[in-house]
Structure 1
Amino acid sequence: MTFKLSLLKQQFSETPALLGTASLLFALIPISLAPSLTKLCQQEIGANAVVFHRSWIATVVFALWNGLEAFRYQQSDSQSIEQKPFTGQEVWLLLAMGTSAGTYLLLWAWSLSQTSVAKVALLSNLNSLFVALAGYLLFGRRFDHRFVIGLVIALGGAIAFELNKVQFANDQILGDALALLTAVFMATCMLLIERLRTRFSTATIMLWRCGVTTMFLLPVLPFLEDRLLPYSWTGWFFIIFQALFCQVLGQGLLAYSLSRISSGVVAVTLLLEPVLASIFAWFIFSEQVGLFDWATFAVVLAGIYLAQSSQSTVQITNEGS
Structure 2
Amino acid sequence: MSDTANSRPWLGPLLLLLGGLCIGLAPIGLRMGLDTMGPQAIAFWRYTFAIPMLFVLLVGIERRMPKKITPLIILAGTLFALDIALWHWALTMTTVANATFIVNMGNVCVGFVAWLVLKERPKPIWFVAVAVAVAGAAALSQGGGANGQADIRGDLLAVGAAIMVAGYMLFSKMSRNTLGAMDVIFWLTVTEAVVAGLVVLASGESFLPETPQGFAAPLFLALVAQVGGQGLIIAGLGRTPAAVAGIIVLIQPVFAAGLSWQLFGESLTILQGGGAALILLGIWLSQGGVKRRRQTASKPSQAEVTNRA
Q: Is 1:254–2:246 an aligned residue pair?
A: no
Larger radius of gyration: 1
Deviates more, 1:228-237 or 1:48-57: 228-237
Alignment of 1:1-321 (within 5 A): 13-15=6-8, 17-69=9-61, 72=63, 91-112=70-91, 117-165=96-144, 175-312=154-291, 316=304
Amino acid at match of 1:45: M
Offset at residue 126 of structure 1 (A): 1.2
**Does the C-alpha gap of structure 1 residues 40 and 139 become closer, same or farther in structure 2, counting only changes over 3 Å?**
same
After superposition, the CA RMSD in angstroms is: 3.1
Tell me the matched-pair count.
296
CA contact (8 A) 1:130 1:183 kept: no
CA contact (8 A) 1:58 1:247 kept: yes
C-alpha distance in 2 between matches for 1:318 and 1:38? 30
- The alignment partner of 1:227 has SS state of coil
C-alpha distance in 1 between matches for 2:306 and 2:88? 36
Offset at residue 14 of structure 1 (A): 4.4
TM normalised by structure 1 equals 0.81
CA contact (8 A) 2:140 2:276 kept: yes
Amino acid at match of 1:144: K
TM normalised by structure 2 equals 0.84
C-alpha distance in 2 between matches for 1:319 and 1:263? 8
C-alpha distance in 2 between matches for 1:14 and 1:185? 33
CA contact (8 A) 1:128 1:267 kept: yes
Amino acid at match of 2:176: R
**Does the C-alpha gap of structure 1 residues 104 and 116 become closer, same or farther in structure 2, counting only changes over 3 Å?**
same
Offset at residue 57 of structure 1 (A): 1.0
C-alpha distance in 2 between matches for 1:136 and 1:318? 15
Offset at residue 11 of structure 1 (A): 9.6
Offset at residue 181 of structure 1 (A): 2.1
Unaligned runs of 5+ in 1: 1-9, 75-81, 167-171
**Does the C-alpha gap of structure 1 residues 295 and 313 become closer, same or farther in structure 2, counting only changes over 3 Å?**
farther
Report Cα offsets for 1:207-248 as digits up to 9, x if no partner: 111101111122331331433222334322232122111110
Aligned to 2:297: none
CA contact (8 A) 1:41 1:238 kept: yes
C-alpha distance in 1 between matches for 2:225 and 2:80? 15
